[in-house]
Structure 1
Amino acid sequence: MVRRAGHLFAFLVVASTANAQMPPPTVGVIQLEAQAVPRSLVEPGRAMASAEVDIRPRVAGVVTEILYQAGRPVEAGDVLFRIEPSTYEADVRAAEADLAAARAAVKEAEAAVVRSERLLGTGTSQSTLDTARSTLEQARATLQSAEVARDLAQIDLERTSITSPITGIPGFAAVSVGDLVAANQADALATVTQLDPIDVEIWAPSARVLSLIEDISLDRVELAESITATLTLETGRAFEARGSMVATSQSVSETTGSRAARFRFENPRHILLPGMFVRADIVLGTANAILVPQSATEREPDGELTAWVVAEGRAVLRSLQEIGTHAHGWIVTEGVAAGELLAVDGLASLTPGLEVRTVPVELDEYGVVHDLRDAVAAGNVEAE
């Protein structure tokens, strides 16, 4: 029994000596630097046509021609439908005949006035002259009315050719040749949609918008001259064009608590179609801040964001103030300073004040840590 106790004592002494001689733990660090970090929001959105118009007849009649093919682009002014024009052509001829008669009446009235003025006092009284002048004014008024009637008849005739007011893609026709249509009917003959450019409506929570406004007012963020956005499609592929903001809503949705902004994108290949859902990355400006990798931070139960830095060879826990994210990092404005060493690897064993040995590492574009000890051994990177 005494022998066993002696072995146990010897083991404890050896273990204690080994622990006392253990080197400090090694942590991977990166050196922080201040930089102009893009301030952006990633929010959902939905594509919508920049212009869309329902085609309706403005005169009544029978459809005689459908002059477009659904899905093929049309230009503004292209004729899509034709209505049987014979009735309206007859109305134009009748209006032109009335106009000719009115012009003749004016000439006759003008001649009567000239005769009355020449014979005034010798064979014509003042009353006769006044009557001739009144007849002339009535004839001129009738002429103006006839001109208006002729113009209206001509407009109705032109409206038998139904054109597209915008450049776009027409949908399927809702009528067939031979169908009777009415002027300004409720049902559209077709719909023309403009797909290039196309708009995307993006929604951001109002609380996030208010936070951004506060950051701008406190000079944490410098707003860009023009606000742009890039899109990720439903397939996960990035959309080829960058869009610019054209308008923002001046109210907050009562159901979602979000505020909408509309961006316009070039869409020559018609990849974006109305109704598609997208994810938008909106670049609002830049923040003069430090980018701290998210993998090196921890969110405390009370919501506080923390990270470890190494100062004078010891681990120090810092509280961070962030204003958003970029790539794989937090945009930090307070809590750390440029030039400090941030611990990004070997964090599990850290405690405040613990002596540590630092090894430089780097993070790739996906936030993965790569050890640089081989570079240190080669003399390309200096170890701390």
Structure 2
Amino acid sequence: MKVSVWKMMGAVLALTGSATIANAQFGPPGGMDMGPLEVGVVELTLQDVPRVVTSPGRAVAFQEVAVRPRVGGVIEEVLYTPDQLLQVGDPLFRIDDSAYVAAEATARANVAMAEANLAVTQSAYDRAEQLAGRGYTEAEVEAARASLAEAKATLDAAQAALDYAQIELSWTTVKSPIAGRADVATVSVGDLVTAGQADALTTIVQADPIYVDTVEASARILSVRKGIAEGALKQNDALEATLMLENEEVFRGVGKLVTAGNTVSTTTGTVTIRFKFDNPDHVVIPGMFVRGEVVIGTMQAFLVPQRAATRGNSGKLTAYIVGEDGTAQQVTLEDDGSYENAWIVRSGLSEGDRLIVDGLSSLRPGQAVTPVAAIIDDNGIARNADTPAVED
């Protein structure tokens, strides 16, 4: 009886082991192969892609002047209104001119005296020259000539002193040296100012046109130059910039390149590039932070939707394409910046490749896939090509 029981248990164990082996070899019904994975794909074609560079920048006044007095005295009147649009020569301040009026009168009197002395000296010289050898010796004629030259020099010096006295008198009215808008005055009536003082009376800023200084990494500049030299990038004849303001509003008009900068910052590794914009409404204020966008040129490249590629730790982009055998193949891409919602790719892909843009979450290299034509909308979202767009 005991032997038969052990035999029965052995038979059961043998059957159980066989079932376990069978299950390990073929897998349970729930783990059976479900077939190829359906994925959305877009067919890639080479196209002319704008090479757009976006850089941070800051607005800089076209001209900015700190106005200081050129003569000393007491401020008698402030002749402008803050934020008033000024033209060149418009009066700003009037300084007490009594001392300069007196100096100008003294200088004018000295000129009159020098003119009178010159007339007498000229007559003496003319008489000496006419009577040379007949009552006037050669030495006396030379002395008369020297006196005449001295009288002329005295008159010239007196005239120069008068001119400078008149200039100083004119400086008692402080005028705007540029066209622009004046800030609030730092002095008031009754304040004493001195010539060339350190503190400015006011500041005038010309903001139409206005400069925008953008900064660009030297490494990117080298990349652009290399692309142009190799013929991969066709440069535009003229570089123009569009401007994005701090409130994400696009500033109307385009900026003209002024200078591309000649030095690289030793601290940031960037180059300053300056553009000039017309700013008639003074929307852009000096000191404002902005973003400049420049279309450098066009290049032949593939546009890879950003949702379809992943950047690894090495900095390289990876994506999936459908191989000839119907499986997902992972490829490494070299990008050259971005355009709208896509990466600009010049190597790693071929004309006609089917790029997988949807169904990437569970995709693995070598996995069998069923490609379905898809499109990428303006928001960078993939959808079936046969599915109509949903309108807002």
TM-score category, normalised to shorter length? 0.7 to 0.9
For 1:1-384, what aligned pairs fall within 5 Å after superposition?
A: 24-312=36-324, 313-374=326-387
Cα drift, residue 251 of structure 1: 2.7
Cα drift, residue 337 of structure 1: 2.6
DSSP 3-state at the match of 1:242: strand
**Cα deviations by residue, 1:201-230 (Å, 9 ceiling, x for unpaired):** 222233333333333333332333332322
Q: CA RMSD in A?
A: 2.8
TM-score by length of 1: 0.87
Deviates more, 1:312-321 or 1:172-181: 312-321
Cα drift, residue 353 of structure 1: 4.5
Question: How many angstroms apart in 1 are the aligned matches of 2:30 and 2:185?
Answer: 91
Higher Rg: 2
TM-score by length of 2: 0.85
Deviates more, 1:312-321 or 1:84-93: 312-321
Q: Residue 72 of structure 2 aligns to which amino acid in structure 1?
A: A
Question: How many angstroms apart in 2 are the aligned matches of 1:18 and 1:138?
Answer: 120
Structure 1: gaps spanning 5 or more residues: 376-384
Cα drift, residue 23 of structure 1: 5.6
Question: How many angstroms apart in 2 are the aligned matches of 1:304 and 1:203?
Answer: 25
CA contact (8 A) 2:181 2:206 kept: yes
Question: How many angstroms apart in 2 are the aligned matches of 1:64 and 1:17?
Answer: 98
Question: How many angstroms apart in 2 are the aligned matches of 1:120 and 1:45?
Answer: 81
**Cα deviations by residue, 1:241-269 (Å, 9 ceiling, x for unpaired):** 32223224333333333222222222222
CA contact (8 A) 1:359 1:373 kept: no
DSSP 3-state at the match of 2:211: strand
2:3 — aligned with what? Answer: none
Q: Residue 169 of structure 1 aligns to which amino acid in structure 2?
A: R
Question: How many angstroms apart in 1 are the aligned matches of 2:235 and 2:42?
Answer: 29
Taking structure 1 as reference, are residues 210 and 361 closer, same or farther at Cα in structure 2, changes over 3 Å only?
Answer: same
Cα drift, residue 332 of structure 1: 0.8
CA contact (8 A) 2:95 2:172 kept: yes
CA contact (8 A) 1:361 1:372 kept: yes
* Identity percentage of aligned residues: 42
Question: How many angstroms apart in 2 are the aligned matches of 1:302 and 1:64?
Answer: 70
Structure 2: gaps spanning 5 or more residues: 1-11
1:378 — aligned with what? Answer: none
Q: Residue 89 of structure 1 aligns to which amino acid in structure 2?
A: V
